[in-house]
Amino acid sequence: MNFRTLSLGILATLGLPAVAVLLHTAVNAQEVEPILDTSRAMVQATEQTQERIDELDSRTQNLLSDYRANLKQLEQLNRYNQSQQRQVDAQRREMESLTNDINNIASLQRAIQPLMEDMVEALDQLVEADLPFLLDERRARVERLRALMDDPSRSPAQRYRLVVEAYQIENEYGRTIEAYRGDIEAGGREYENVEFLRIGRTVLTFRTDDDQTLMRFDPESREWVDLDMSFLPDIKMGSRIAREQIPPDLMFIPVRAPQTETGG
């Protein structure tokens, strides 16, 4: 008996219905197995696809983050470049201004040199027309300025600064009080080491140490004239104030009273 005969015998022993069930189960198993295989393959493919999607999503997020960071950096760079450009424009304008100034230096020097020479001459006229205080010092200052005008080693700016300083010194004389010693010729007589007192540009007096001579300079006659001895205490006090030996105080000074012109 072969295997086929045995199988048929066994089926015959089981009966017809049982044979049908077995046959149906075998057929269903044969049909379902490929479907299951297909499902398993689809599941595996889905998992692989999902992994691929997750990987692409992660890369997309990284690229998006990098893009946003680069975009912000680009904005910062643009703002920085704009700031630098404004600075460059300002420097360019400054360079143009300096270039114009340099081009105008020659013409400015030609204009300022005669002006400074006129200022020196005007200063000399002021010294000679003013009260004759510290004449040697003031005249020497004017002569130094004259020599300065022809000194090639000094720049126009240095010359102008020294001229202005001389004017500032002269301006200070008009609002200060000063006592100093010196020699003077007045009334045909030589006086040595007398005490001068200058009160602004209003009064200039001198007195001898023995208080026997007290004189003032008269601007109208351009001469030294005797001063009433009643002013001697005030003149002495003025000298002490000028030397800062006592604090400033009220004092009488010998000035000519203003005159009123009357019609005839």
| Residue 184, in any domain of the structure | yes
| Residue 218, in any domain of the structure | yes
pTM of the model: 0.58
pLDDT classification of 199: cutoffs 50, 70, 90: very high
Same domain, 181 and 246: yes
**Which of the listed residues 145, 173, 201 is the one where a domain comes to its end?**
173
Q: Which residue has the higher pLDDT, 41 or 169?
A: 169
| Residue 124, in any domain of the structure | yes
| Residue 263, in any domain of the structure | no
Residue 35 pLDDT? 77
Mean pLDDT of 169-191: 93
| Structural contact between residues 166 and 123, judged by C-beta atoms closer than 8 angstroms | yes
Same domain, 190 and 237: yes
Q: Is it the case that residue 233 has pLDDT exceeding 90?
A: yes
**Which whole-number Å values give the CA distances from 156 to 33, 96, 143, 150, 152, in the listed order?**
112, 23, 17, 11, 9
| Residue 166, in any domain of the structure | yes
Same domain, 158 and 182: no
Same domain, 247 and 180: yes
Burial class (CB within 10 angstroms; exposed 0-12, middle 13-18, buried 19+) of 23: exposed
CA 109/CA 157 separation, integer angstroms:
9
Same domain, 156 and 210: no
Residue 264 pLDDT? 41
Residue 24 pLDDT? 54
**Which of the listed residues 173, 208, 223 is the one where a domain comes to its end?**
173
Residue 110 pLDDT? 76
Mean pLDDT of 238-258: 85
Same domain, 166 and 206: no
Residue 15 pLDDT? 52
What is the extent of the structural domain holding 161? 111-173
Q: Which of 134, 126, 133, 163 has the alpha carbon at shortest distance from 147?
A: 163
Q: Which residue has the higher pLDDT, 11 or 242?
A: 242
| Residue 66, in any domain of the structure | no
Same domain, 200 and 219: yes
| Residue 159, in any domain of the structure | yes
Residue 66 pLDDT? 87
Same domain, 159 and 183: no
Q: Is it the case that residue 3 has pLDDT exceeding 50?
A: no
Q: How many domains would you assign to the chain?
A: 2
Of 29-33, 136-140, 196-200, 259-263, where does mean pLDDT reach its minimum? 259-263
| Residue 27, in any domain of the structure | no
